[in-house]
Amino acid sequence: MQQESTYQAARSVAKAVEAHFTQHHALEVQSGMAGAAPTPSAHIIEAILDAAFWASLRKEEGHSPKISLAFLPPELAGKPLVFEHRFPLTPTILAKLAPGVERAGIHLGVWYEGEHLYLWGTTQTVMSYCFVLDVSEPGLLVVKHRRDDGLGKFANVAVLKGDQIKLIDEHSASLPDCPGLMKPLLHITTPFAGDNSVNVLVQLAVSMRAHGRGGTLLVVPSDSLAWRESIVQPILYSISPAFSGLAELMKGAEVEQTQTPWLTALTQEVKSLAGLTAIDGATVVNDRHELLAFGAKITRRDGYAPLEKIMTTEPILGNEPVIIHPTQNGGTRHFSAAQFVHDQRDALALVASQDGRFTVFSWSPCEHMVHAHRIDSLLL
């Protein structure tokens, strides 16, 4: 805004991001929702992306900046912390402030006066569809916004990694055979409304990816033991009776699910369960969120053929399905999970890699093969 952007990807993606926020702003106004968040122009988006990108490549006392920027004025930010003196939005200032604002939920407020963008303070409150930009590592920018009810993970809009741009396709979850958990990730539903079962899987996916050790979570039907035919017996770390800590929480009344104690307890249960996926082998839960086993070794089911092909997709604009041999999709963890879903077609497998890649395997009745949905761009 103050000067021409030198980060080419910012210029390339700015208009598409502006269109996304403009569309949702119009829908909010049309539906009569009060307090619609301000929509940044393409010039503002480009300037924010440019400053954040160059800040991400700097180091402050040996640490790379971790920043979250929110585009809104202080009067729309709840109870903000306001600086006495404004700071210009520059890479140098962002790198200097980053150590004090890197904790989750803290956003640096960005606003403008004339042709100048400035930092006015910090806030932990942002409006629905407020433009938010997260920087979590050098060169990695994620444009996102808060969901309608303010609960759960923010919805991603675009991911920029260096010169690579991924625009999230919000409509990909409406395709046939798409697993239900894709919908809350793509902002088609809110994270704790409607089908709480798939929404908890979203939180588990985020937590699995966060521990950084890789892991596999198998979700099996609660009314069948057929899944055991795809697991090496005996199961060393089986759970009997099934552990129901998370299941009991999910039986709570709807009103409880918007209250801090319930959300805190849910977060702890999710972290505990996701932590087990870091142990070598697969963690198994049923569709009632009961823990059945961890450290389980997947094997091909008797009478079922070896897996020869899978279909892979990613929920970004321009992506086309590709049919590949399962060994092309990852290592042993990915192959075994795909084989499990091939043999147990009413099951779901969530696989996190140590490098951050995250894949959901499900059976596609339409294509009659295993479908690998790569969703790490939604979990950042």
Q: b/e per residue, 296-326, with b = 16+ CB within 10 A?
A: bebebbeeeeebeebbbbbbbeeeeeeeeeb
pLDDT tops 80 at residue 340: yes
Query: 81-91, pLDDT tens digit by residue?
Result: 999 999 999 99
pLDDT tops 70 at residue 2: no
- In terms of Cβ atoms closer than 10 Å to its own Cβ (0-12, 13-18, 19+), residue 155 is buried
Tokens of 239: 């759970």
Q: Which pLDDT does position 175 carry in this prediction?
A: 60
Closest C-alpha among 40, 37, 104 to residue 75: 37
Q: What is the mean pLDDT of residues 209-234?
A: 95
Q: Grade residue 5 by pLDDT with cuts at 50, 70 and 90.
A: confident
Q: b/e per residue, 344-364, with b = 16+ CB within 10 A?
A: beebbbbbbbeeebbbbbbbb
Query: 177-187, pLDDT tens digit by residue?
Result: 666 655 655 55
Q: What does the alpha-carbon distance between residue 87 and residue 327 come to, in Å, rounded to a whole number?
A: 51
Q: What is the mean pLDDT of residues 227-246?
A: 95
Distances in Å between the Cα of 46 and the Cα atoms of 15, 287, 363, 379 are 9, 43, 40, 23
Q: Which pLDDT does position 191 carry in this prediction?
A: 38
* SS3 category, 354: coil
Q: What does the alpha-carbon distance between residue 31 and residue 49 come to, in Å, rounded to a whole number?
A: 30
pLDDT tops 80 at residue 324: yes
The residue type of 65 is P
Q: Which pLDDT does position 188 carry in this prediction?
A: 41
Q: Which pLDDT does position 190 carry in this prediction?
A: 37
Q: Which pLDDT does position 320 carry in this prediction?
A: 86
Tokens of 287: 């569709």
Is 152 in contact with 186 (CB distance < 8 Å)? no
Question: In the predicted model, what is the mean pLDDT of the chain?
Answer: 87
Q: Which domains does the chain have, with CATH numbers?
A: 8-167 (no CATH), 173-379 (3.40.1700.10)
At which residue do the structure tokens 């077609």 appear? 345
Tokens of 245: 């800590």
